[in-house]
């Protein structure tokens, strides 16, 4: 049997003939049956064309790829569903969903450089990303029982098994299958450090998004979330027993790099006495450049204002002082992820005005940003003082190292120039005092908190699912 491939400058024509032969005078590319030894050969010939002689099949399928079925009439075997936060109620945007052909490898502990475009662990057969409603559809899914499904957002990773029927959409309706893990028994979780603060109860968002109380602890515990108290509690806040001073974290780059994400709550002052100094700013700068992710509100802008990195300090002037800004903040929907935030908020909270976010309190600490170094997600007019009465940034993200091409960036900072929770109680009974319903500012926190865990990309561009080999 011989197969003939004729190459032209504009297209490739292929024909198959049986029981025929072709000579070197054939103006084409020939693939010849070379017998039973399984090899093939290339022969360029005098006319510049070449022959491939081959025996046996080339590239047989392996593993679950052999269970991907061809469907007629334009049909496909698909799996669809919605990915949720650990609480099973908040849908999540930009989560990777895939079917692996191999068992995914264990995740690396500590800070890593997670860039978009890498192939997910486990040799994915098909991949997808969730949209602004948390929905996904996987195409070309292997058929059978106990098909593995991976749901991943940074170091949040859940692995489940599903049954897949041939040539139809297999819709997953059980939220317990498609939510991120509540605890480390259910799957992988990022290691998170939280510094508590007396003026913004960010700590209460962690139980509200569904993280188990068993995962809240102090430095040295096996819990996924460790809490630290700035200044011995003078301007800090309550939390789990055994909290160490925040300087144990802030002054030590090696300690910071044990954590994938760090959340720094507002302490009520720009710099509480003894809370942080040049040593702290240098350590956090190293952490960000190594791939660390930080989340800050209000007075925690000091990490940018006092950074030893001139590029970070040049992102935007920060007069600071916590003067007032107007509520609500208006979202920028002109870039893909900004519109996704607006669409997501409108979907999860029907009481919102589209593209607007009302927080407990909005500040006016930041002057307009250099948009080549930062992504401004929301703005509002300043009332007076500080950055003035112009339209100034309220929600900002900065990829690090600042100003480098995205291919060289590993870390990210998120700042909300606002307070999002002034009503809950955080004390030794934590998280028992986190009782209030999630408000709009907290919803914005939830979006950014999970987005902070995602791979680094240009936030102005549409996210892309990981490639498949």
- Rounded CA separation 363/58 (Å): 64
The residue among 155, 159, 151, 153 whose CA lies nearest residue 112 is 155
Quote the percentage of the chain above a pLDDT of 90: 76
What pLDDT, on a 0 to 100 scale, did the predictor assign at position 233? 57
The SS3 of residue 283 is helix
- Rounded CA separation 367/365 (Å): 7
- Count other Cβ atoms within 10 Å, centred on residue 461: 12
- pLDDT tens by residue, 158-179: 999 999 999 999 999 999 999 9
Nearby residues of 337 by Cβ (< 8 Å), 6 or more positions away: 94, 375, 377, 451, 459, 460, 463
For residues 362 and 19, the model is more confident at 362
What CATH number belongs to 63-171? Answer: 2.60.40.10
Domain range summary for the chain, segments of one domain joined by +: 2-54, 63-171, 192-451
- Rounded CA separation 182/290 (Å): 27
Q: Residue 235: pLDDT above 80? A: no
Average pLDDT for 239-255: 94
Structure tokens at 256: 């910071």
What pLDDT, on a 0 to 100 scale, did the predictor assign at position 272? 72
Q: Residue 18: pLDDT above 50? A: no
**Mind giving me the DSSP string for 93-111?**
SS-EEEEESSPPPPPPPS-
Output b/e per residue, 368-382; b: 16+ Cβ within 10 A: bbeeebbbbbbbbeb
Q: Residue 49: pLDDT above 90? A: no
The residue among 268, 202, 237, 207 whose CA lies nearest residue 415 is 202
The CATH class given to the 192-451 domain equals: alpha beta
What pLDDT, on a 0 to 100 scale, did the predictor assign at position 21? 38
- pLDDT tens by residue, 401-451: 999 999 999 999 999 999 999 888 888 889 999 999 999 999 999 999 999
pLDDT mean across residues, the chain: 87
- Rounded CA separation 153/188 (Å): 10
Nearby residues of 383 by Cβ (< 8 Å), 6 or more positions away: 323, 324, 325, 326, 364, 389
Average pLDDT for 324-337: 96
- Rounded CA separation 97/157 (Å): 10
The SS3 of residue 350 is coil
Structure tokens at 444: 């914005």
Average pLDDT for 193-212: 94
- Rounded CA separation 80/88 (Å): 16
What pLDDT, on a 0 to 100 scale, did the predictor assign at position 237? 72
Q: Residue 54: pLDDT above 70? A: no
CA 7 centroid distance within chain: 44
Instruction: Work out the angle between the directed axes of helices 440-451 and 336-348 (0-180°, nearest 10).
Output: 130
Torsion angle of alpha carbons 390, 395, 398, 399, nearest 10°? -150
Q: 230 phi and psi, to 5 degrees?
A: -65, 145
Helical H segments across 251-297, by residue range: 253-256, 278-290
H or E element at residue 376: strand 375-381
Residue labelled with tokens 């504009």: 10
Q: 301 phi and psi, to 5 degrees?
A: -60, -15
- Rounded CA separation 290/27 (Å): 57
The SS3 of residue 298 is helix
For residues 268 and 194, the model is more confident at 194
CA angle 278, 320, 333 (to 5 degrees): 110
Answer for the pair 396, 297: CB distance below 8 angstroms, yes or no.
no
Q: Residue 268: pLDDT above 80? A: yes
Structure tokens at 137: 């559809």
What pLDDT, on a 0 to 100 scale, did the predictor assign at position 234? 57
What pLDDT, on a 0 to 100 scale, did the predictor assign at position 182? 98
Answer for the pair 74, 170: CB distance below 8 angstroms, yes or no.
no
Q: 460 phi and psi, to 5 degrees?
A: -80, -5
What pLDDT, on a 0 to 100 scale, did the predictor assign at position 52? 34
Q: Residue 42: pLDDT above 80? A: no
Average pLDDT for 362-377: 95
Q: Residue 151: pLDDT above 90? A: yes
What pLDDT, on a 0 to 100 scale, did the predictor assign at position 375? 96
Q: Residue 58: pLDDT above 80? A: no
- Rounded CA separation 197/320 (Å): 18
- Count other Cβ atoms within 10 Å, centred on residue 359: 29
Answer for the pair 413, 264: CB distance below 8 angstroms, yes or no.
no
- pLDDT tens by residue, 96-144: 999 999 999 999 999 999 999 999 999 999 999 999 999 999 999 999 9
Q: How confident is the model at residue 290 (pLDDT cuts 50, 70, 90)?
A: very high
Total residue length of the chain: 469
Sign of CA dihedral 74, 79, 84, 88: positive
């Amino acid at each position: 049997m011989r197969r003939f491939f004729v190459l032209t400058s504009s297209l490739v024509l292929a024909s198959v003939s049986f029981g025929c032969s072709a000579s070197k005078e054939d103006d084409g590319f020939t693939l010849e049956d070379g017998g039973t030894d399984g090899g093939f050969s290339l022969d360029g010939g005098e006319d510049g064309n070449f022959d491939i002689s081959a025996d046996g099949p080339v590239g047989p399928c392996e593993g679950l790829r052999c269970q991907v079925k061809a469907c007629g009439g334009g049909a496909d075997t698909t799996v669809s569903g919605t990915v949720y936060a650990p609480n099973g109620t908040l849908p999540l945007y930009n989560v990777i969903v895939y079917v692996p052909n191999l068992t995914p490898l264990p995740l690396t502990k500590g800070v890593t450089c997670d860039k978009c475009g890498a192939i997910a662990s486990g040799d994915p057969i098909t991949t997808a990303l969730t949209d602004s409603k948390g929905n996904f559809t996987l195409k070309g899914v292997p058929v059978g029982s106990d098909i593995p499904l991976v749901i991943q957002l940074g170091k949040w990773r859940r692995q489940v098994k599903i049954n897949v029927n041939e040539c139809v959409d297999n819709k997953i309706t059980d939220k317990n299958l498609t939510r991120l893990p509540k605890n480390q028994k259910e799957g992988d979780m990022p290691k998170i450090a939280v510094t508590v603060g007396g003026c913004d109860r960010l700590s209460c968002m962690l139980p509200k998004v569904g993280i188990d109380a068993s995962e809240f602890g102090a430095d040295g515990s096996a819990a996924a979330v460790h809490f630290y108290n700035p200044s011995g509690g003078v301007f800090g806040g309550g939390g789990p027993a055994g909290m160490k001073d925040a300087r144990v974290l802030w002054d030590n780059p090696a300690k910071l790099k044990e954590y994938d994400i760090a959340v720094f709550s507002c302490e009520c002052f720009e710099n509480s006495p003894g809370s942080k100094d040049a040593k702290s700013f240098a350590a956090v700068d190293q952490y960000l450049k190594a791939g660390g992710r930080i989340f800050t509100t209000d007075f925690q802008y000091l990490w940018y204002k006092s950074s030893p990195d001139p590029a970070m300090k040049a992102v935007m002037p920060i007069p600071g002082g916590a003067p007032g800004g107007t509520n609500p903040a208006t979202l920028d929907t002109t870039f893909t992820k900004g519109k996704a935030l607006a669409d997501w908020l409108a979907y999860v909270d029907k009481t919102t005005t589209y593209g607007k976010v009302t927080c407990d309190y909005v500040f006016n600490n930041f002057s307009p940003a250099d948009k080549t170094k930062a992504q401004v997600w929301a703005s509002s007019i300043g009332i007076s003082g500080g950055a003035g009465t112009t339209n100034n940034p309220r929600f900002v993200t900065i990829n690090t190292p600042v100003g480098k091409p995205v291919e060289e960036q590993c870390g990210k900072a998120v700042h909300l120039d606002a307070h999002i929770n002034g009503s809950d109680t955080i004390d030794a009974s934590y998280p028992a005092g986190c009782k209030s319903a999630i408000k709009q500012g907290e919803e914005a926190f939830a979006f950014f908190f999970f987005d902070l865990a995602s791979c680094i990309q240009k936030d102005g561009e549409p996210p892309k699912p990981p490639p498949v080999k």
